[in-house]
Structure 1
């Protein structure tokens, strides 16, 4: 009955957006209230649950998304994106550009939080699509597939790293096994799947589509790459420092501070202001105008993401994820498949991959001692299940839809299906490794 009520809440959301044509942010608020009443959340707690959901999600994302949009806009306007796009095309050519995007997504996605990687790299995909007249979705999906796989499977991302601790797995082995599974998964969900998407109509945000500049006006290749990927380098450095700094060290608080994605992005945008802005002849008011335009373009995206956070919080506060997980934990099946299935169903119902992964861990952890299963593979099974079929209650769904400016139907056919391919192929990889090791 609980699952049916969750599905009814999601159906209301879909109808409000697709049939009634209501703004997605308002639709999220309405469907969140309905879900609260349907699932028995006390009336006095529904408003606070919605507010907590919006606050908790935006608290971690608003700085990242806004500064990422600013950086992406400046990278586009300065010609750095054009320079990077040209160098990638020279190496890979238009025929293999999806492979270039996949490789970029894997390399950048390992140290980078998904949302940071999205707002930094999607503008690059748009520049390639715009400059070389390629379909935006065809170029972008391989990049996002790689980011999604690294987010769900590989430490130091939050859910996999937390699962390693809960199951007392080995961080190094989990990362090694995860990389083995990542390679075939991103190939199938990325370049191979992208071949079927060339006819998908998309009109990406114009803010990331700067006019083509003469070669003489472009920044150097070194400046372009170093500035655009500065957040990646900073996160790699701070991650290494975190691993090698004692908790009792006087440097620990400082390292923790600068390793926060929001601080990394702030540092990066300040550096970019000079390397791609003032240093390239832009006046400060011109740079600030670029940032203002970028902020306006992502305002509605922030609201839609906030709405998804509200619905996720209501479903979490009503205990839906625990009810589903506890019901499934009594099923008799292979432990890796069981863990994957629990994570997948919670993901579909709640929307958050991180919530799905951590909730599943809480249910499975007490059973690990009775299971004859490698804990490293258990981490990966849950990770793959937690990314399945992103849809209306997932902020990533709306981030993709609004950035690429595609219809809800095409978002389901591209983004949601890609995430499902990742989950299924990833599970197959986990089961094959289970037979080998």
Structure 2
């Protein structure tokens, strides 16, 4: 059975990494080969599937991840990250700093991909952790919770937008309901659960983070740029992408045609272009404007990319594992399991998306695949709240991030955790996001 094969593959991967201490990237590629063969992918297609998965994942996040690391490093090396950290600490206090990070991450996460939010905020989180002498994990978990919740529930993220289109749901109502669902979800998974996780996997909360993002410099306050310009520079890609998302939402309603102006705005606000523009903006605000030599600013960019080599390979390896599972027909197998069901459409959409997410690894793939299995059921049931079905799909797609998810490896490596610690923190946390999202969706369905 495909599900048994996946379970065996995941167990083998854990054994290779934890028991035999094999390099994580090498372990991912080896297990991808084995799972591909066991799932019946023709031998001649195995290499192609692995290459497509690795290339597709890095093609999606490579530019953003590299440029995001440059942006974060420029801001950090100029003292901007420390200025933001010091200001947040002074305004919120040490006891409420997790709330500050949760709010900041949620605001960034509304417009940014999960990966971009992480790579942009990591330098700031590092600075705060260093200033307060606390573990990076304690602060990193609220960050990834907010980013994951926004990724699962809120347009203009590609998953919610795509699923809204498939279900013919109202995007504005999805955004409103999504915020209502995301707020309690963030509080439960991002504020409450880390306190529990500290008792379950205490070693995770001794971690100081990965060296992939470089050594954090220390500055005197007068040597750092102002708080306003530091925040504006860090949020510049958020502003650009948010502007593009707003245009995409209002264009159909207003009736603007796809003329050269709209196409230009869409180009500028595309995530890749926005990151390029933001790096150039940071070179000016954090460097040239403060009389920092261009060579020194470029050294920051080079060090950011040089340190990311293995991390990028590991993320790509997670994409390779995901792709062989998809190409092995696991999605079709899951579809057959649910033929002829008469379950509640909200619960059904969540279960299908959750199972696809656990099996395939990609929340986006699970989100895009689920409507095809749910729509036949919706056609037989009157007065279904389509927006809540779409949000239940998003909730299911967030659950149980583990070794076949590139996001799992990004969180694990950037926070410097081992496998056991990543399972006990991020995997459980993502599961709480998925379950809490379902519960809130069902409660909304009762109220509405």
Counting only pairs closer than 5 Å after superposition, residues 119-268 of structure 1 correspond to structure 2 as 119-198=119-198, 199=202, 200-206=205-211, 207-245=213-251, 246-268=256-278
**1:54 offset after TM fit, Å?**
1.3
Counting only pairs closer than 5 Å after superposition, residues 49-64 of structure 1 correspond to structure 2 as 49-64=49-64
User: In the alignment, does 2:396 pair up with 1:385?
Assistant: yes
SS in 1 for 2:208: coil
In structure 2, do the counterparts of structure 1 residues 330 and 124 end up closer, same or farther at CA, with 3 Å as the change threshold? farther
Alignment root-mean-square deviation, CA: 1.4
Work out whether residues 203 and 406 of structure 1, in 8 Å CA contact, stay in contact via their aligned partners in 2. no
- Distance in 1 (alpha carbons) for counterparts of 2:83 and 2:335: 49
TM-score by length of 1: 0.97
User: In the alignment, does 2:297 pair up with 1:287?
Assistant: yes
Give a deviation string over 1:21-48, Cα, whole Å, max 9, x none. 2111111111111111101111111111
**1:247 offset after TM fit, Å?**
4.2
Work out whether residues 214 and 303 of structure 2, in 8 Å CA contact, stay in contact via their aligned partners in 1. no
- Greater shift in the superposed pair: 277-286 or 294-303: 277-286
Work out whether residues 111 and 156 of structure 1, in 8 Å CA contact, stay in contact via their aligned partners in 2. yes
In structure 2, do the counterparts of structure 1 residues 329 and 429 end up closer, same or farther at CA, with 3 Å as the change threshold? farther
Give a deviation string over 1:323-364, Cα, whole Å, max 9, x none. 113312434432211111111111111110001111111211
SS in 1 for 2:348: helix
Number of residue pairs aligned between Structure 1 and Structure 2: 437
In structure 2, do the counterparts of structure 1 residues 360 and 212 end up closer, same or farther at CA, with 3 Å as the change threshold? same
- Distance in 2 (alpha carbons) for counterparts of 1:288 and 1:33: 39
Give a deviation string over 1:91-147, Cα, whole Å, max 9, x none. 211110111111112111111111111100122111111111122111111111011
Q: Which residue of 1 aligns with 2:429?
A: 418
- Distance in 2 (alpha carbons) for counterparts of 1:121 and 1:325: 38
- Greater shift in the superposed pair: 188-197 or 59-68: 188-197
Q: Which residue of 1 aligns with 2:112?
A: 112
**1:202 offset after TM fit, Å?**
1.1
- Distance in 1 (alpha carbons) for counterparts of 2:51 and 2:275: 25
Tell me, which stretches of 5 or more residues in structure 2 are unaligned? none
Q: Which residue of 1 aligns with 2:91?
A: 91
Q: Which residue of 1 aligns with 2:80?
A: 80
TM-score by length of 2: 0.94
User: In the alignment, does 2:420 pair up with 1:403?
Assistant: no
- Distance in 2 (alpha carbons) for counterparts of 1:288 and 1:140: 27
Tell me, which stretches of 5 or more residues in structure 1 are unaligned? none
Give a deviation string over 1:51-98, Cα, whole Å, max 9, x none. 111111111110111111111111111110111111111221111011
- Greater shift in the superposed pair: 122-131 or 150-159: 122-131
Work out whether residues 137 and 209 of structure 2, in 8 Å CA contact, stay in contact via their aligned partners in 1. no
Work out whether residues 102 and 190 of structure 1, in 8 Å CA contact, stay in contact via their aligned partners in 2. yes
